[in-house]
Structure 1
Amino acid sequence: MFTEPRSGLLAAWGNALLAGIVSPDDAVLAIVGEDAVHRVEGLPGEAGPVGLTLALGRLRRLGATGFRVAMPAPGHPLGLSGPPEFNARALDAGEAVIASGVSFGLVPEVYEAGPAGDLHVEVVWHCLAVRGAPPADVPSLGEAERELAEALREAAAVLSGLDVAGSGPVAAAAIDAYRARAEVGSGDVLAPGYPARAARVLELARRVGLLVAMAYEHGPGGAVSASEMAARVEALRPVERVARRAQVAAYNAYVEERERHR
């Protein structure tokens, strides 16, 4: 199922914190979510891991003016700008946060900890040097919105052709669950201060992401052969790419708009 990337939450609420719209406690609470704890390792001036509150404050004092998101995949360095070490770590994680105004980025590493039957999730963000260059392949909000409209049509056509859209109660339940969650609103994820268009783009990206997840997870009668799955992956790869590009555009909209008005 489509889930919000931890990097998106950190960037969105980190931006609201830097703008003075939310308190440090509220920002960290929203970023951590259902995880047990988040720490930051490799922060300049610190010998070991520190909490998110201290880390965000330190990055602000170092000159951070905003946070962008990268969501790379093999063959698609979406949102990255180098150097190779950072890009490789971000690719392994599938996501990263890049600070504007300072040459640092954060890559999450997720652990399960605790005794059997009582496991909890801990996240360590690795602070690494980044290159001050334009991020790769990030569209504007307008471009992302136009691409998503076409991607929705393509995804629906693919699902129909694969007989997934009508594949029964499991798919219907997935759609109902998504619709219920969407009513909460993307603005809560993006944090205060984001433009309304960014929330709209993120919601469209969620819809595309749900359709892609349905195609991967649910087949007619629940049975999906290897050849059928290969066909789905090939047909939906461009659609999934559009959804990731739109996610990044939405999360990065706060910084992009701020820089346009400087």
Structure 2
Amino acid sequence: MLDEPRSGRLAAWGNALLAGLVSPDEAVQHIADDDAVHRVRGLPGEPGPVGLTLALGRLRALGATGLRVALPAPGHPLGLSGPPEFNARAMEAEEAVLATGAALGLVPEVFESGPEGAGVPRADVHIEVVWHCLPIRDAPPADVPSLGEAERELAEALREATEVLSRLDVAGSGPVAQAALEAYRARAEAGRQVLAPGYPPRAVRVLELAQRVGALIDIAQGAGRDGQEHGAAVSASEMAARAAALRPVERTARRAQVAAYNASVEEAERRRG
């Protein structure tokens, strides 16, 4: 979770565009971020891939009133509503966007080219993203909490993650962990816009906390691009214990991210209701 999911950017800035709060050019710029190009394949009425500007306009014409995020993981179909074909593709990508009112979902497929290895600047890697548009079931998404629930769960999860890292002698250990921590702090201090216009302040607060918890988890159990563990050297049994201890914390952080990204749609539906 050191990187913002592409589905989060698409949903957040797509929602701002649908609400008339940003221009199409501004929305597409934020959605693409450092990627070279994004295209959408499989949109009804379009014989081939189209750009994001046309795709978002087409979704609006097809009845889309908002975009929700799904961040599923094995055994946890978070944010999904079916059918099985769409769920399977989203599970493989570990993310998806669901268009409320249009019964369509978007799953990203990422293509990278360029130099590989540790220390390669992101700008030197050419990234193209194809969003596959598929039909979805018009049903409540799985296991998505309210913002209030997510905030309470996150506060406890952050305490648990900190305790686990301290107990396992992970936090801040080794140069890879230090580099990851510094990268996260630099992003936080850069004053980046966490969510698009139209989101309530509580959603911004929840997403920031979820990303902080996610960063701690990545540092604790992930390997760096050079193949070295972020955490302290441990045995296989200790690594398994670490993963088991952090798994529920990671699930909480993902649930909170989904709640934050979906907050503008939830709030709009409450107003209409």
Give the deviation of 1:113 after TM superposition. 3.9
Q: Distance in 1 between matches of 2:216 and 2:125?
A: 30
Quick one: which of 241, 263, 269 aligns to 1:253? 263
Q: Distance in 2 between matches of 1:229 and 1:140?
A: 33
Deviations 1:46-68 (A, max 9, x none): 11111111000000011110000
Does the 8 Å contact 1:9/1:189 carry over to 2? no
- 2:226 match: none
The answer to whether residue 142 in structure 2 is matched with residue 136 in structure 1 is yes
The answer to whether residue 37 in structure 2 is matched with residue 37 in structure 1 is yes
The answer to whether residue 135 in structure 2 is matched with residue 125 in structure 1 is no
Structure 1 residues 80 and 174, CA gap change in structure 2 (3 angstroms): same
Quick one: which of 229, 233, 245 aligns to 2:239? 229
Q: Which runs of 5+ in 1 are unaligned?
A: none
Does the 8 Å contact 2:194/2:208 carry over to 1? no
Q: Distance in 1 between matches of 2:104 and 2:172?
A: 47
Deviations 1:8-53 (A, max 9, x none): 0000000000011100011001101111110000000011111111
- 2:231 match: 219
Does the 8 Å contact 1:96/1:106 carry over to 2? yes
Quick one: which of 205, 208, 211 aligns to 1:200? 205
Q: Which amino acid is 2:216 matched to? A: L
Q: Distance in 2 between matches of 1:110 and 1:56?
A: 19
Give the deviation of 1:194 after TM superposition. 0.6
Q: Which amino acid is 2:244 matched to? A: E
Does the 8 Å contact 2:83/2:137 carry over to 1? yes
Give the deviation of 1:185 after TM superposition. 4.4
Q: Distance in 2 between matches of 1:168 and 1:90?
A: 34
**Bigger Cα displacement from structure 2, 115-124 vs 34-43:** 115-124
Q: Distance in 1 between matches of 2:204 and 2:266?
A: 14
Give the deviation of 1:224 after TM superposition. 3.3
- 1:162 match: 168
- State percent identity of aligned pairs: 78
Q: Which amino acid is 2:181 matched to? A: I
Q: Distance in 1 between matches of 2:111 and 2:195?
A: 25
**May I ask how many residue pairs the two structures share in their alignment?**
259
Q: Which runs of 5+ in 2 are unaligned?
A: 223-229
Give the alignment's TM-score, normalised by structure 2.
Answer: 0.90
Give the deviation of 1:169 after TM superposition. 4.9
Q: Distance in 2 between matches of 1:177 and 1:115?
A: 21
Give the deviation of 1:122 after TM superposition. 0.6
Q: Which amino acid is 1:53 matched to? A: T
Q: Distance in 2 between matches of 1:130 and 1:170?
A: 41
Q: Distance in 2 between matches of 1:225 and 1:143?
A: 36
Deviations 1:75-98 (A, max 9, x none): 000000000000000000000000
Does the 8 Å contact 2:5/2:95 carry over to 1? yes
For residues 173-192 of structure 1, what are the structure 2 equivalents within 5 Å?
173-185=179-191, 188-192=193-197
Does the 8 Å contact 1:63/1:102 carry over to 2? yes
